[in-house]
Amino acid sequence: MIEVRGLTKAFGEQTVLKGVDLTLEKGSVLVVIGPSGSGKSTLLRCLNVLETPCSGTIAIGEANMAFTRGAKAKRSDVLTLRRQSGMVFQAYYLFPHLTALQNVMEGQLTTLRRAKEEAKERALALLTKVGLREKADAYPHQLSGGQQQRVGIARAMSIDPQLLLFDEPTSALDPELVREVLKVIRELAKEGRTMMIVTHEMKFAREVADRVILIDEGVIVEEGRPEQLFGDPQQERTQQFLSRLM
Protein backbone atom coordinates (compact mmCIF):
# COMPACT_ATOMS: atom_id res chain seq x y z
CA MET A 1 0.00 0.00 0.00
CA ILE A 2 2.82 2.39 0.84
CA GLU A 3 6.19 1.57 -0.55
CA VAL A 4 9.36 3.60 -0.42
CA ARG A 5 12.50 2.42 -2.16
CA GLY A 6 16.00 3.86 -2.10
CA LEU A 7 14.92 7.27 -0.90
CA THR A 8 17.74 9.77 -0.62
CA LYS A 9 17.76 13.44 0.27
CA ALA A 10 20.65 15.85 0.54
CA PHE A 11 20.78 19.48 1.60
CA GLY A 12 23.84 20.83 -0.16
CA GLU A 13 26.79 18.68 0.88
CA GLN A 14 24.89 16.97 3.67
CA THR A 15 23.12 13.72 2.81
CA VAL A 16 20.28 13.42 5.28
CA LEU A 17 18.50 10.31 3.95
CA LYS A 18 20.81 7.64 2.62
CA GLY A 19 18.58 5.15 0.88
CA VAL A 20 15.47 4.48 2.93
CA ASP A 21 13.30 1.46 2.11
CA LEU A 22 10.03 0.89 3.83
CA THR A 23 6.71 -0.80 3.31
CA LEU A 24 3.56 0.03 5.21
CA GLU A 25 0.44 -2.10 5.02
CA LYS A 26 -2.90 -0.41 4.63
CA GLY A 27 -4.45 0.09 8.05
CA SER A 28 -1.23 -0.22 9.97
CA VAL A 29 0.70 2.19 12.15
CA LEU A 30 4.41 2.72 11.73
CA VAL A 31 6.22 4.58 14.48
CA VAL A 32 9.51 6.27 13.65
CA ILE A 33 12.01 6.89 16.41
CA GLY A 34 15.57 8.13 16.40
CA PRO A 35 17.88 10.83 17.69
CA SER A 36 17.42 14.48 16.89
CA GLY A 37 18.81 15.35 13.48
CA SER A 38 18.65 11.77 12.19
CA GLY A 39 16.31 12.58 9.30
CA LYS A 40 12.85 11.70 10.68
CA SER A 41 11.16 14.96 9.71
CA THR A 42 12.90 14.96 6.35
CA LEU A 43 11.54 11.48 5.66
CA LEU A 44 7.97 12.56 6.43
CA ARG A 45 8.38 15.77 4.45
CA CYS A 46 9.65 13.78 1.47
CA LEU A 47 6.59 11.51 1.61
CA ASN A 48 4.38 14.58 1.51
CA VAL A 49 6.73 16.15 -1.09
CA LEU A 50 7.28 19.21 1.06
CA GLU A 51 10.88 18.34 0.27
CA THR A 52 11.78 16.88 -3.11
CA PRO A 53 13.77 13.67 -2.70
CA CYS A 54 17.04 13.43 -4.65
CA SER A 55 16.39 9.86 -5.73
CA GLY A 56 14.21 6.87 -5.01
CA THR A 57 10.57 5.95 -5.50
CA ILE A 58 7.48 6.60 -3.43
CA ALA A 59 4.21 4.78 -3.97
CA ILE A 60 1.17 5.72 -1.90
CA GLY A 61 -2.20 4.34 -2.91
CA GLU A 62 -2.61 4.98 -6.62
CA ALA A 63 0.19 7.51 -6.77
CA ASN A 64 3.62 6.37 -7.78
CA MET A 65 6.58 8.61 -8.36
CA ALA A 66 10.24 8.14 -9.15
CA PHE A 67 12.79 10.82 -8.34
CA THR A 68 16.03 11.18 -10.23
CA ARG A 69 18.91 13.39 -9.26
CA GLY A 70 19.04 16.44 -11.49
CA ALA A 71 15.64 15.80 -13.09
CA LYS A 72 12.83 18.18 -12.35
CA ALA A 73 9.80 16.57 -10.68
CA LYS A 74 6.62 16.95 -12.71
CA ARG A 75 4.27 19.36 -10.98
CA SER A 76 1.12 17.31 -11.60
CA ASP A 77 2.81 14.17 -10.21
CA VAL A 78 3.90 16.10 -7.13
CA LEU A 79 0.36 17.33 -6.50
CA THR A 80 -1.09 13.85 -6.95
CA LEU A 81 1.42 12.34 -4.55
CA ARG A 82 0.99 15.15 -2.03
CA ARG A 83 -2.73 14.60 -2.00
CA GLN A 84 -2.22 11.04 -0.74
CA SER A 85 -1.03 12.10 2.69
CA GLY A 86 -2.09 14.53 5.38
CA MET A 87 0.56 15.97 7.67
CA VAL A 88 0.32 16.97 11.31
CA PHE A 89 3.28 19.10 12.33
CA GLN A 90 5.06 19.47 15.62
CA ALA A 91 3.90 23.02 16.13
CA TYR A 92 0.42 23.76 14.98
CA TYR A 93 0.58 25.41 11.61
CA LEU A 94 -2.99 26.61 11.54
CA PHE A 95 -3.82 29.72 9.56
CA PRO A 96 -4.12 32.35 12.33
CA HIS A 97 -6.67 34.46 10.48
CA LEU A 98 -9.05 31.52 9.86
CA THR A 99 -11.40 29.88 12.34
CA ALA A 100 -11.07 26.20 13.25
CA LEU A 101 -13.84 25.42 10.78
CA GLN A 102 -12.24 27.47 8.00
CA ASN A 103 -8.88 25.84 8.66
CA VAL A 104 -10.44 22.42 8.15
CA MET A 105 -12.32 23.59 5.04
CA GLU A 106 -9.37 25.26 3.34
CA GLY A 107 -7.63 22.22 1.83
CA GLN A 108 -10.93 20.80 0.67
CA LEU A 109 -11.73 24.00 -1.21
CA THR A 110 -8.28 24.50 -2.73
CA THR A 111 -6.89 21.00 -3.17
CA LEU A 112 -10.07 19.04 -3.80
CA ARG A 113 -12.23 21.88 -5.15
CA ARG A 114 -15.11 20.65 -3.08
CA ALA A 115 -18.27 22.72 -2.96
CA LYS A 116 -18.40 25.00 0.08
CA GLU A 117 -21.40 23.31 1.71
CA GLU A 118 -19.90 19.87 1.33
CA ALA A 119 -16.56 21.07 2.71
CA LYS A 120 -18.30 22.64 5.67
CA GLU A 121 -20.26 19.50 6.44
CA ARG A 122 -17.12 17.39 6.26
CA ALA A 123 -15.18 19.87 8.41
CA LEU A 124 -17.88 19.86 11.08
CA ALA A 125 -17.91 16.07 11.13
CA LEU A 126 -14.14 16.05 11.57
CA LEU A 127 -14.22 18.67 14.32
CA THR A 128 -16.84 16.56 16.07
CA LYS A 129 -14.56 13.57 15.73
CA VAL A 130 -11.68 15.35 17.47
CA GLY A 131 -14.05 16.67 20.14
CA LEU A 132 -14.10 20.30 19.00
CA ARG A 133 -17.47 20.80 17.38
CA GLU A 134 -18.25 23.66 19.76
CA LYS A 135 -14.97 25.41 18.87
CA ALA A 136 -15.73 25.56 15.15
CA ASP A 137 -15.86 29.36 15.13
CA ALA A 138 -12.88 29.94 17.40
CA TYR A 139 -9.66 31.34 16.02
CA PRO A 140 -6.36 29.53 16.74
CA HIS A 141 -5.28 32.05 19.40
CA GLN A 142 -8.48 31.30 21.30
CA LEU A 143 -7.61 27.61 21.53
CA SER A 144 -5.18 25.74 23.77
CA GLY A 145 -2.18 24.05 22.18
CA GLY A 146 -3.87 20.68 22.49
CA GLN A 147 -7.03 21.97 20.85
CA GLN A 148 -5.04 23.57 18.05
CA GLN A 149 -3.25 20.32 17.46
CA ARG A 150 -6.58 18.47 17.30
CA VAL A 151 -7.76 20.98 14.69
CA GLY A 152 -4.49 20.20 12.89
CA ILE A 153 -5.43 16.51 12.89
CA ALA A 154 -8.90 17.29 11.55
CA ARG A 155 -7.31 19.43 8.87
CA ALA A 156 -4.87 16.68 7.87
CA MET A 157 -7.80 14.29 7.49
CA SER A 158 -9.97 16.72 5.58
CA ILE A 159 -8.68 15.78 2.13
CA ASP A 160 -9.35 12.08 2.86
CA PRO A 161 -5.71 11.05 2.54
CA GLN A 162 -4.54 7.46 2.25
CA LEU A 163 -1.90 8.14 4.85
CA LEU A 164 -1.61 10.37 7.92
CA LEU A 165 1.83 11.66 8.84
CA PHE A 166 2.50 12.91 12.36
CA ASP A 167 5.76 14.70 13.11
CA GLU A 168 6.20 14.78 16.88
CA PRO A 169 2.60 15.88 17.33
CA THR A 170 2.87 16.33 21.08
CA SER A 171 6.40 17.55 21.65
CA ALA A 172 5.47 21.25 21.64
CA LEU A 173 2.64 20.75 24.12
CA ASP A 174 2.48 21.23 27.85
CA PRO A 175 2.41 17.83 29.55
CA GLU A 176 -1.24 18.09 30.60
CA LEU A 177 -2.30 18.63 26.97
CA VAL A 178 -0.41 15.67 25.55
CA ARG A 179 -2.99 13.14 26.59
CA GLU A 180 -5.95 14.61 24.68
CA VAL A 181 -3.94 14.60 21.47
CA LEU A 182 -2.66 11.05 21.95
CA LYS A 183 -6.22 9.96 22.64
CA VAL A 184 -7.36 11.20 19.24
CA ILE A 185 -4.44 9.51 17.48
CA ARG A 186 -5.11 6.30 19.39
CA GLU A 187 -8.73 6.31 18.20
CA LEU A 188 -7.61 6.80 14.61
CA ALA A 189 -5.29 3.80 14.98
CA LYS A 190 -8.19 1.73 16.28
CA GLU A 191 -10.26 2.74 13.27
CA GLY A 192 -7.59 1.31 11.03
CA ARG A 193 -6.14 4.50 9.60
CA THR A 194 -2.78 4.11 7.93
CA MET A 195 -0.37 6.28 9.84
CA MET A 196 3.28 7.08 10.22
CA ILE A 197 4.13 8.73 13.51
CA VAL A 198 7.38 10.29 14.65
CA THR A 199 7.27 10.44 18.42
CA HIS A 200 9.36 10.39 21.56
CA GLU A 201 6.41 9.12 23.62
CA MET A 202 7.72 5.59 23.95
CA LYS A 203 4.84 4.21 25.99
CA PHE A 204 2.39 5.49 23.39
CA ALA A 205 4.59 4.19 20.57
CA ARG A 206 4.59 0.73 22.06
CA GLU A 207 0.85 0.78 22.36
CA VAL A 208 -0.19 2.05 18.91
CA ALA A 209 2.59 0.80 16.65
CA ASP A 210 2.26 -2.25 14.47
CA ARG A 211 5.87 -1.73 13.48
CA VAL A 212 8.64 0.55 14.68
CA ILE A 213 11.70 1.78 12.85
CA LEU A 214 14.74 3.41 14.34
CA ILE A 215 16.47 5.93 12.08
CA ASP A 216 19.96 7.14 12.76
CA GLU A 217 22.04 9.32 10.44
CA GLY A 218 19.64 8.83 7.57
CA VAL A 219 19.45 5.05 7.58
CA ILE A 220 17.00 2.60 9.09
CA VAL A 221 19.06 0.92 11.76
CA GLU A 222 16.42 -1.49 12.98
CA GLU A 223 12.84 -2.39 12.24
CA GLY A 224 10.52 -4.65 14.14
CA ARG A 225 7.34 -5.18 16.05
CA PRO A 226 7.18 -2.88 19.10
CA GLU A 227 7.59 -5.64 21.67
CA GLN A 228 10.65 -6.87 19.79
CA LEU A 229 12.27 -3.50 19.10
CA PHE A 230 11.64 -2.06 22.56
CA GLY A 231 11.92 -5.32 24.50
CA ASP A 232 14.78 -7.02 22.74
CA PRO A 233 16.60 -4.62 20.43
CA GLN A 234 19.16 -6.32 18.22
CA GLN A 235 21.32 -3.41 17.20
CA GLU A 236 23.73 -1.65 19.49
CA ARG A 237 22.58 1.75 18.24
CA THR A 238 18.99 0.89 19.14
CA GLN A 239 20.05 -0.22 22.60
CA GLN A 240 21.99 3.00 23.10
CA PHE A 241 19.15 5.17 21.88
CA LEU A 242 16.59 3.47 24.10
CA SER A 243 18.82 3.44 27.17
CA ARG A 244 19.29 7.20 26.87
CA LEU A 245 15.53 7.65 27.08
CA MET A 246 15.02 5.49 30.16
Contact status: 182 vs ligand ADP (CB under 6 A): no
Least distance to ligand ADP, CB of residue 60, Å: 19
Rounded CA-CA distance 175/146 in Å is 10
How many other β-carbons are positioned within 10 Å of the β-carbon of residue 200? Answer: 13
Binding piece for ligand ADP, criterion CB under 6 A, among 37-45, 116-124, 189-197, 228-236: 37-45
Decide: 233 and 222 in contact? Cβ < 8 Å. yes
Least distance to ligand ADP, CB of residue 214, Å: 11
Decide: 130 and 184 in contact? Cβ < 8 Å. yes
Nearest to 217 by CA among 29, 45, 20, 47: 20
Contact status: 171 vs ligand ADP (CB under 6 A): no
Least distance to ligand ADP, CB of residue 146, Å: 22
Phi, psi of 201 (to 5 degrees): -85, 90
Least distance to Mg ion, CB of residue 211, Å: 19
Helices 116-129 and 100-110: crossing angle, nearest 10°?
A: 130
3-state secondary structure of 29: strand
Contact status: 192 vs ligand ADP (CB under 6 A): no
Contact status: 41 vs ligand ADP (CB under 6 A): yes
Q: Which of 11, 52, 116, 236 binds ligand ADP (CB under 6 A)?
A: 11
Binding piece for Mg ion, criterion CB under 5 A, among 35-43, 108-116, 123-131, 199-207: 35-43
- With b meaning 16 or more CB within 10 Å and e meaning fewer, what string describes 69-98? eeeeeeeeeeebbbbbbbbbbbebebeeee
Where are the alpha helices (H) located in 88-211, listed in sequence order? Answer: 100-110, 116-129, 145-157, 175-190, 202-208
Contact status: 41 vs Mg ion (CB under 5 A): yes
Contact status: 238 vs Mg ion (CB under 5 A): no
Least distance to ligand ADP, CB of residue 51, Å: 7
Contact status: 199 vs ligand ADP (CB under 6 A): no
Residues in contact with ligand ADP by CB under 6 A are: 11, 16, 34, 36-42
Q: Which residues contact Mg ion by CB under 5 A?
A: 40-41
